[in-house]
Structure 1
Amino acid sequence: MSCKTLSCLLLLISSYAILGFKIPSIDFEMLEEQGFEVSIPDEPGIQRVFYMLQVDDTCPALMDYITEAVNGSWVSRQKMSLQNNDKLQISLLVQFNEEIFEKSETKVILNKRLLTTRDFSSRSISFPSGEGECQAFLAPQQQTKRCKPAQTIVSNGRRACQGELIFEDNFSEAQLNKSTWKHDIRQRMYHVEEELVAFDDAVRNSFVKEGELHIVPIVASEVTEGSFKLGDRCTAVESPDQECNIAQGSFYSIKPPVFSAQIHTRDSFSFKFGKIVVRAKLPKGDWLFPYLMLQPVSTYAETHYAKQLRIAYARGNAFLRTKKGEDISGSHLYGGGVVWHHGNAVQFLKDKVSKTHYGDGFHNYTMIWQRDKITLMVDEEVYGELYDGLPFFNEKCFIIFGVTVGGFLNFDDSILEKDVKPYKNREPRAALSFWQHRDAWAPTWGRQSAMIIDYVRVYAE
C-alpha cells in the first residue's frame, strides 16, 4: 500500500466523521533503547484506533491497528529509536460510536526529549510527493480495505461500506438472545377472526437447538373451559382489551386453538436499504403461514395491518389450489411488499414454483432492498425484481420471524373453492369452526410444522 493510496483511503474514511467528539491529546514516551510508544487515553465509546507514524517524512511509514485498550489507554509501541531533531508525524483514526474521527500531530525530538508539538485536529493526512512511492508496512491481518460508501442506514444512523456485514445471528448460543430478539405476546382473534393463533414466549413454541432457531405451532388441548388472560405479559399496542383477554362464555369466542411464536428486533436492530439473507426451512401443515419479513420502525410488531416487506413465504398446505386452478400450496414461493390502504391490502409480489414443498429442506431466502428496486432470490437464483410500492418503505425496518395460522390475506376466501377451508375468515365463529374440523388439518402437522432458521445476515448495499 503506498502512502499516496493510504492518504486517499484516510481522506475517504475521515469524510464520514461528525462533530461532537474530540480525540484526546496524543501521549508520547521515549523507551530508551527500546524505541517509543504513543497512546491516547480510553474513553467510553472508543472502539478501535489506527495509528500511522512517519519520521522526517521518510519511508517506510509505520502502521498499527489497535482493537482494544490496555490499562486505560490505546497504545502503539514501536521498536524504532528516535534521534535528536527527528520529526515524528503521528496520524490516527479513531472509531467512536460507529463514526470515524481523524487527528494529526507532529512532534520534534531534541536531546531525546519532546521539544514541540503541532496539533492538527480533523484534517486529512498529506504526504510529500518525492521520488517513487513510499511503502507502508502493515501485517496482512491488519490490512484495511477500501470503503465504498453504501446507501444502507443502520439503527444508530451510521453509514456503512458496501458489502459490510451489519447484523448476524447464527443462533449458536444455548438460548435465544433476549437482548436482540423480543417476543410478540398476544392473541390474534380480535374483532372478526384475523388469525387463529396466540403468540407466546413459551419455550415449547420457540427455542434454540443445535445452532438453529425453532418456531413451533402447537394445537391447544382445549379451547372452551375458562377465560384466556395474558395479563401484564401481553405486548398488544392497539387493542389490548381484545388481544390480551378472551372473556369466558362469549358466544362467538373460544380460547386460541393454536399457540405459536413471533419474535422481532424492533428495539435492537433496524436498517434502511440492504441485503438480508435468511437460511430457513419453512413449516409444513395445512393453514400454516410463515413470517420472514421486515416492518417499518414507525409501527410495532403488534400493529394491526402494518406495511410489510415479506422476504419469503410459502403456505404450509401440501395441496391447495384456487378457483382458477392455480397452485398456491407450499411449492409456490412468494416475496415482496404488502401495503394496507383503507383496510384493504395492496400486494407487490413476485413468485416462483418448485417441484417440491419449500418445507422439505433448507433454502437461502434473500431480499436486496435498494432505493429504486427490490430483488428477490432463493438459493442465489433471482426470481423477481420489484419497482412498484417502494415509496411506502422509506424508513428503517426491523426483522420479524414467526409462524401463524390462517389469516384474511394469507388464505383469502374469495380465491378458494367453497368448502375447501374448514372455516370462513369473516364468520363470527370462524375459530370454533376451525377447531371443530381439526381432524382434517391436525394430522397434517407434526415435526415438519416447525419453521427452523439456521441464520440471518444483513449486509450493507
Structure 2
Amino acid sequence: MHNFIFYIFLVWLSCLSDLTVMCYKIPEVKLDVLPNGFRVSIPHEAGITSVIYNIEINEQCPLIYDLITAQRGNFWISEQNARKLYVNDEIKINVVVQHNDNIFARTDIIDIFQNFELTYETVKNGDQPVDACDFDAWNENAGNVDNIDKRSITKVILKNQQSSKLYEPNELIFEENFNTLNNSIWSYDLYMHSNAIGDGSEEFTKFTNDENHISVQNGSLWIAPKISPKRRKEAFRITGCSAPACYKNRKETCIYEKKRNRFYMFPPPVDSAKINTANVFSFTYGRIEVSAKLPEGDWLIPYIMLQPDQPNCSIRKQLRIAYATAKDLEKSRIRGGPVILYAAPNPTRPKVNFFERTSHMVFQTGVKPNEYHNYTMVWTSKQIAMYVDGTKYGCIPNNGEYTESYHIVLGVSAGGHLEYKHITSKPWINGVNSAVKQFQESFTECCARFGAEGECTDEKCLRKKKGKKYCTQEEMYYVKKICSKPWGLHAPMEINYVRVYAV
C-alpha cells in the first residue's frame, strides 16, 4: 500500500484528461548525487503543468513523494538534501507528468556502483498516455489470474496451420511435463550469435544439442551454460547448423575460423542450449504458465519467452515470461513483459545493423532464487499481465503491438551489451573487437589460476624470441583484468512444466 497516495493522486489527475494521444515522451530521469543528498530532474517542455516524483531507495519505506508545480531553469527538479546516497544503493524513480490534457508515466531504476558510477535501466517508458491497465498494474488487490479480461479469442497454430477449433476460456491447449525431450515438439537452435559479422548486439553464446548442456533429469528440463574450451586458433563447424532467420546467408553463424574480416576473432566463449516450438505449436492470446528455477551466475541470461512466428529483422519482439540477471536474483527480484530490439545503422560497419533494446518489463521482489516458482503471463488483445506464484505484479497495455502468433522459446545465454550496459566493473567493453576475448578471460587466465574475485594481474612477455622458453623479469609486463565469479551448481536453468490455456 506504500504507493497508495501516489496513485490516488495520479488517478485524480487522469480524471482531468481525455487521454488522447499526444506526441510527448518523458525523457530518462537524471539523477545527480549531492554531498548529503541527491537531485532528480527532467527537462521542461511546452505543455507540462505538473510533475510527480515517487522515489524508492533499496526497496525500503518510507518512499519519497514530491509534487512539483513549477519548473526551474527549464527543468522539473526534486532536490532531497536529507537523504544521502551510497555505493550499491538502488533507486527506483516513478515520475508522472501532466502534459496538456494527458498524463504520462515512466519508471527507471538507477544503480550506484564504485566511484558513484550510475547505470540506468528503464522499467517503463513514458511514451504513451497512462492507460487504465497501468493503474491496475499497481493495484495490490488486482485479484487472481481469472480476473483478467477474457474478451480476446485464443488462436492456435499447429504445424503452421491455424486450428479451426474454438477454445473455451481456461481450456488447456498445450502441455509439456518433460518426462522426455520430445523432438516432435521441440526444435534445437544450433548456431553462434551474430557478433562475428559486426552486429555487436548479441550474446557471446554458441547453442548446441549436446547432452552436457541440455537434457531431461528427474522430470525437469535441464539447460546448463558452460565456458567453452575452444580458443582463438581452433576452427570448427556446427553440425546441423540452423542459422537464424535474419542471417540465413551468413556462414559466420555456423562456422568459426580465424579471419581478418571476422569482427570478433575469437570463438563464442559460452556453450549452452536453446529450444523452441516454431513450426509445431504457436498461439495468439492465452495464459502461459512455466514452473522454473532460473539460472544463477555472472552475466547469464534466461530465455523463458515467446517470439513471433514471422521474424522482423529490423524490429525483433519478445514476450518474456520470466527474466532475471544474477544481480536481480541477489535482490530476490524477477521481471517479465515485452522487450523490443530496434535495428539502427552501425557507424563502423554501414552494411550491418546494430540493435538497441527497449524494455516494457515490470518486476517483482521477494522471489527466492534457487527455488521453483510458477511464472505466468496472461496475454490478451488489451494487455499483458504478469504473475509469479499466483500473485499479479504488473501489466502492460497491448496497443496493437502484440497481435500475431508467437511460439515458445526456452534457453540460457550469456554476455552481450543489450542486457548488460557498460560499467567499469564489467569485464568486457561493449562493441569492441576484443569484447568476447575479455569475457572469456574473466573466467579463465589469471582469474581462474588465482581464484580471484574482482580483479587479477596477468603476466605477459614483452617480446618472444624464437626458441626462447622463458622471459626475463625485464621482459615481463602486467595486465590487470576484471574477473567474473565461476558458475556453480545453480547456473543451469531447470523447468518442470510448460502449460498454455485459452483466454
- TM-score (norm. length: structure 1): 0.60
The equivalent residue for 1:218 is: 226
- Give me the whole-angstrom Cα distance separating, in 2, the residues matched to 1:170 and 1:232: 27
Question: Any unmatched runs of 5+ in structure 1?
Answer: 1-147, 321-326
- The offset of 1:304, in angstroms, is 7.8
Paired amino acid for 2:295: P
- Give me the whole-angstrom Cα distance separating, in 1, the residues matched to 2:407 and 2:367: 32
- The offset of 1:330, in angstroms, is 6.0
- The offset of 1:352, in angstroms, is 1.2
- Give me the whole-angstrom Cα distance separating, in 1, the residues matched to 2:179 and 2:283: 23
The equivalent residue for 1:227 is: 235
- Give me the whole-angstrom Cα distance separating, in 1, the residues matched to 2:314 and 2:488: 29
The equivalent residue for 1:399 is: 408
- The offset of 1:306, in angstroms, is 1.9
Moved more, 401-410 or 364-373: 401-410
Q: Secondary structure at the match of 2:265?
A: coil
- Give me the whole-angstrom Cα distance separating, in 2, the residues matched to 1:274 and 1:431: 38
Percent same amino acid at aligned positions? 34
- The offset of 1:331, in angstroms, is 2.5
Q: Secondary structure at the match of 2:170?
A: coil
The equivalent residue for 1:170 is: 177
The equivalent residue for 1:46 is: none
| Alignment RMSD | 2.3
Tell me if structure 2 keeps the 8 A contact 1:236–1:244: no
Are 1:411 and 2:420 an aligned pair? yes
Question: Paired residue for 1:308, among 304, 310, 318?
Answer: 318
Are 1:270 and 2:282 an aligned pair? yes
- Give me the whole-angstrom Cα distance separating, in 2, the residues matched to 1:355 and 1:314: 11
The equivalent residue for 1:447 is: 489
- The offset of 1:193, in angstroms, is 5.6
Q: Measured at CA, do residues 330 and 205 of structure 1 come closer, stay the same or move farther in structure 2, by a change above 3 Å?
A: farther
Paired amino acid for 1:334: R
Are 1:248 and 2:249 an aligned pair? no
Q: Secondary structure at the match of 1:307?
A: strand
Q: Secondary structure at the match of 2:400?
A: helix
Moved more, 346-355 or 443-452: 346-355
- Give me the whole-angstrom Cα distance separating, in 2, the residues matched to 1:444 and 1:259: 15
Paired amino acid for 1:183: Y
The equivalent residue for 1:58 is: none
- Give me the whole-angstrom Cα distance separating, in 2, the residues matched to 1:364 and 1:205: 23
Q: Secondary structure at the match of 2:436?
A: helix
Paired amino acid for 2:361: L
Are 1:297 and 2:309 an aligned pair? yes
Residue pairs, 1:41-440, within 5 angstroms: 151-155=153-157, 156-158=162-164, 159-173=166-180, 176-188=181-193, 189-190=195-196, 191=198, 192=200, 194-230=202-238, 232-239=240-247, 240-248=250-258, 250=260, 252-299=264-311, 306-315=316-325, 317=326, 320=327, 329=330, 331-343=332-344, 344-354=356-366, 356=368, 358=369, 360-387=370-397, 390-413=399-422, 417-418=423-424, 420-438=425-443, 439=447, 440=453
Count of residue pairs brought into register by the alignment: 294
- Once the two structures are superposed, residues 89-146 of structure 1 have per-residue CA deviations (whole angstroms, 9 ceiling, x without a partner) of xxxxxxxxxxxxxxxxxxxxxxxxxxxxxxxxxxxxxxxxxxxxxxxxxxxxxxxxxx
Question: Any unmatched runs of 5+ in structure 2?
Answer: 1-149, 345-355, 448-452, 454-482
- Give me the whole-angstrom Cα distance separating, in 1, the residues matched to 2:338 and 2:217: 31
- The offset of 1:443, in angstroms, is 4.2
- The offset of 1:238, in angstroms, is 2.5
- The offset of 1:198, in angstroms, is 0.5
- Give me the whole-angstrom Cα distance separating, in 2, the residues matched to 1:243 and 1:222: 16
Q: Secondary structure at the match of 1:422?
A: coil
Paired amino acid for 2:163: G
Q: Measured at CA, do residues 257 and 341 of structure 1 come closer, stay the same or move farther in structure 2, by a change above 3 Å?
A: closer
- The offset of 1:177, in angstroms, is 0.4
